[in-house]
Structure 1
Amino acid sequence: MVHTRYELRLRAPIARTLLDVIRTRFDHVTAPGADGTVLIVEDIDQASLRALLTLLWDTGHEVLSFEEMNHGRRV
């Protein structure tokens, strides 16, 4: 199994309550930046990724960039 990681950069910080919801719905989600504008999601399937993007858009978050990384390399 290939270890896949997605990095999503948001225009504005993500609310703590929304981050809690995301962490409840999806495993292996981190927000490494202090400002909460980056989400890193690991080992997620395409349907779950789409659900995450829809949730972000539905809550008014603008996704500036979306990158897939395999073994630390950008794809």
Structure 2
Amino acid sequence: MATTRHELRLRAPIAHTVLDVIRARFDRVSTPGPDGTVLIVGNLDQASVRALLTLLWDTGHEVLAFEETSHE
């Protein structure tokens, strides 16, 4: 079964309170860079992608890029 990975690049670091909410709602969440401008979330369906983007926009985070990759 293929797994998906969603990488979002943000203009500014993600707020810790928002990151806590995202980690509570979604599995496999990481911010690999020290500045917190990249968010990686694994295995999201279409409704979850929409919910994540809405949460980021509603909390004032500007998404610069969004990429989905699949891995076997």
TM-score normalized with structure 2 length: 0.94
**How much is the aligned-residue C-alpha RMSD, in angstroms?**
1.2
Runs of 4+ in structure 1 displaced over 4 angstroms?
Answer: none
Listed as ranges, the matches of 1:37-52 within 5 Å are 37-52=37-52
Partner of 2:55: 55
Supply the distance in 2 between the matched residues of 1:13 and 1:25 (Cα, whole angstroms): 19
Partner of 1:28: 28
Supply the distance in 2 between the matched residues of 1:25 and 1:51 (Cα, whole angstroms): 10
Runs of 5+ unmatched residues, structure 1:
none
The alignment-based identity, stated in percent, is 75
Q: Deviations over 1:17-46 (max 9, x none)?
A: 110111001111111111110000101111
Runs of 5+ unmatched residues, structure 2:
none
TM-score normalized with structure 1 length: 0.90
